[in-house]
Amino acid sequence: MTTGESSPTAADLVLARDRLLGQGARSASPSGQSTQSGHRLAPDTLREALTDLHEFWLTAAAAQAGVGGRGGGVALLAVGGLGRRELVPYSDLDLVLVHDGRKAVDTIAERLWYPLWNSGVGLDHSVRTVGEALDVAKADLRTALGLLDARHLAGDAEVTVRLATSAREQWRTGVRNRLGELIESVKQRWRRAGEVAHWVEPDLKYGRGGLRDLGILDALSLAQLIDRPGPDVVAAHTLLLDTRTELRRIAGRPRDILQPQDGDEIAAALGLADRFALARALSGAGRSVAYAMDVALRSTGAANGKRVLGLLRRGPDRRPLDEGVVLHGSEVALARDADPGKDPGLLVRVAAASGRTGHPIAPGALSRLSDHAPEPRAPWPAEVRQDLVSLLGAGEGLTDVVEALDRTGLWARLFPEWGAVRDLPPRDAAHIWTVDRHLVQTTVNASRLVTRVSRPDLLLIGALLHDLGKGRDQDHSIVGAALATQVGARLGLSKQDVDTLSAMVRHHLLLPHTATRRDVEDEATVLRVVDVLGGDPVLLELLHALAEADSLATGPGVWTDWKAALTTDLVTRCRAAMAGEQLPGPIPLSVPQTELAEAVNATGKADFLVDTSDNVATITLAAKNRPGVLSRAAGVLALNLLEVHAASLVTYAGAAVGVFSVTPRFGSMPDPALLREQFLRAEAGSLPLADKLAAKERDYGGRAEDAPDPRVLWFDHEAGDEDGAAVVLELRAADRIGLLHSVASALERCGIDVLWARVATMGGSAVDSFSFVPGRAAGWRHVVESAVLRASK
């Protein structure tokens, strides 16, 4: 803003704001005079400067609009971030024009609001009398909470005091009748926004454990239903607010969901090492706030819908749940004669009772256990181990129990190895949870699969431990297997069970990786898996269930019908091999597919079939037996946004037959007539696939600029033809729409005839495998690898 004879305009406000939000080179005084700061403003300093800037402009604008002073009957109030003096970049201004009912207020409002609208400043506004504002607050919870932050900006201060005082008093006297409404709104928000503590992309404002929850805690404290938040919650507030400030500063727009690519810059601004350090700090902050919310809602009676009646309320009943464990009202508590220091199994019994009943552990019980409960002595007694299995099998109830125990240090007393994965962000984009929460969620999923295995106890323990080796520089499966051996021995498992548990962790990725990256109909693939598992059918069924539980806990779309069917097919074949039965051969072409090949051989004209009878569509293309079938088919399918999961190429009746398993990336299957027309054009060479795919990729965001370098791995003796000479090339690269077409074209230019292909997509990464009989010329492997790497960039 500039000063002069005329008052500052809204355009001046925006200009000064943008200077503040620059690269830290300039700051602005409330008068609008920019000053050279020479460094990036700290987040709290930036919020203070933004608040002062907007308050200065609004005060001047209010005076110009006719908002009088004392006795004028009109006041301009700030609520929300401006009211709390926590204005983050690009926030809407939450303003209330309060008046005593005089008619000229509409003209005043127009003079205030329109300049802001015209300049693009976000505005949430209302014009009301004190009585109208209080009536709205009675009916609308959001308004009631907002008025608790009301702060005077301009005009008649007595009007502001009257509204602010009445709003707070109305909240204090009526809050008990609104607790049910409050908890329902909170739970709905949590369902929509997820969790700050454990999500890879947390919503800093609306997520569970975020800034909106801190506002609820302040409101309950103002009503004297809970104590003021403790130092850990205050520190969490600062971190969340600073992170939100930096996120919006670097984004240059309103944004509250933190994405991994923003993490390093924000971490540097906050003095943290990197985005992983920031993620762990935010996870800890989110847990502190979420736990405070849980305790607050329980203590007010909101969580179970009961009203608190103070001294008139009769004391809650105590019902025995287990030895030394009772249900006290709606919380799991210690019996009066329970002695945590002399009962090493009490901690696990309390946890199991909480998980089994779905009732939270009372804070007092957690405190006593934290102060006095010893770690169970190794090896654990059988009854303590059984209580642990009961806890792990509790389903959704497990999550809150682990969270409560972990916050108080009790979970680490049971599993000291947990510290390495606590709040640990994952390294690959497919995961939506932190590693510790992923382990718990996998166990929750496994609890629904226990009837499918003969050893449900090992399934549940293996699910809890399968990624325990992450957070180190070595292969997490190998490290995890050693840790599983250590934990299993401490739990008192037999030597055979410890070996099985260790093998589960070591090979927990074997089945899904093999099923999605290799030909499950190939006998060599099946026998390799059987050999790795030592022919143990119990280990096979445990790994099958763990693969499903693990994939479901990774993220949406990871455990698909296609992946499930492939994994089940592989397990069925492995089980047959372990039993010494004859393995079924490859599935032959169907009658419609053979008839298609015969017709193409007779006419010389390419044609295709589409079968959508299953969740995964099957597209069969038959064409002249010449190179290029895979690349042309992959190009046409990608052009229509169809994701290829598997492809096989055979020769039948003199025609090349390609069979593709596909699903739409978005929406439904395209018109078969369109696919036929494009296939025919691609076969005739009149469809410029490369150009059209490049345009399609640009339309959908293009290739990632910071994508990791692609990598090629070779596997010999894993996929055999009749002579056992075939090899498997595995490409790991950033996924894009035309990747399979580009790589298949590169292979074809190298003279490679692909036998089959498998395509696995995990988040933004692709693992594509191709089996073929290699060439005989010297150096062929280097030539093929170089061509594939160039094509995948």
Determine the pLDDT at residue 354. 96
Say whether both 759 and 699 belong to one domain: yes
Say whether both 643 and 735 belong to one domain: yes
Say whether both 583 and 602 belong to one domain: no
Question: Would you tell me how many other CB atoms lie within 10 Å of the CB of residue 361?
Answer: 24
Q: Residue 277: pLDDT above 50?
A: yes
86 falls within a domain: yes
Determine the pLDDT at residue 673. 87
For residues 417 and 408, what is the distance between their CA atoms, to the nearest angstrom?
16
Buried (b) or exposed (e) across 667-702, using 16+ Cβ within 10 A?
eeebeeeebbebbbebbeeebebeebbbebbeeeee
Which CATH number goes with the domain that contains 639?
3.30.70.260
Say whether both 14 and 134 belong to one domain: yes
Q: Residue 272: pLDDT above 60?
A: yes
Residue 562: pLDDT band (50, 70, 90) is confident
Q: Residue 30: pLDDT above 70?
A: no
Arithmetic mean of pLDDT, 300-313: 50
Say whether both 581 and 645 belong to one domain: no
Determine the pLDDT at residue 312. 39
- Look at 64-73, 479-488, 651-660 and tell me which has the smallest mean pLDDT: 64-73
Largest CA distance in the chain: 99
Share of the chain above pLDDT 90, in %: 64
Q: Residue 473: pLDDT above 90?
A: no
415 falls within a domain: no
Q: Residue 313: pLDDT above 70?
A: no
Say whether both 136 and 209 belong to one domain: no
404 falls within a domain: no
Say whether both 612 and 526 belong to one domain: no
3-class secondary structure, 666: coil
752 falls within a domain: yes
730 falls within a domain: yes
Last residue of a domain, one of 563, 587, 611: 587
| Tokens of residue 171, six digits | 């909240």
Residue 27: pLDDT band (50, 70, 90) is very low
Share of the chain above pLDDT 70, in %: 92
In sequence order, the 6+-apart residues with CB closer than 8 A to the CB of 227 are 221
Say whether both 572 and 603 belong to one domain: no
365 falls within a domain: no
Say whether both 634 and 756 belong to one domain: yes
Q: Residue 708: pLDDT above 60?
A: yes
Question: Would you tell me how many other CB atoms lie within 10 Å of the CB of residue 705?
Answer: 5
Residue 37: pLDDT band (50, 70, 90) is very low
More confident residue, 337 or 699: 337
Which neighbouring-strand residues pair with 617?
662
Arithmetic mean of pLDDT, 198-209: 94
Residue 306: pLDDT band (50, 70, 90) is very low
For residues 206 and 216, what is the distance between their CA atoms, to the nearest angstrom?
11
Q: Residue 540: pLDDT above 50?
A: yes
Q: Residue 375: pLDDT above 50?
A: yes
Say whether both 549 and 691 belong to one domain: no
Determine the pLDDT at residue 461. 98
Last residue of a domain, one of 544, 559, 587: 587
| Tokens of residue 228, six digits | 């003021």
* Helical ranges in 553-628 per DSSP H: 561-578, 591-603
**Domain span at 633:** 596-792
Total domain count, the chain: 4
pLDDT in tens, 131-178: 999 999 999 999 999 999 999 999 999 999 999 999 999 999 999 999
630 falls within a domain: yes
Say whether both 639 and 762 belong to one domain: yes
Last residue of a domain, one of 271, 300, 329: 300
Say whether both 608 and 719 belong to one domain: yes
Residue type at position 410: L
More confident residue, 309 or 146: 146
613 falls within a domain: yes
In sequence order, the 6+-apart residues with CB closer than 8 A to the CB of 453 are 459, 538, 541, 542, 545
For residues 755 and 629, what is the distance between their CA atoms, to the nearest angstrom?
12
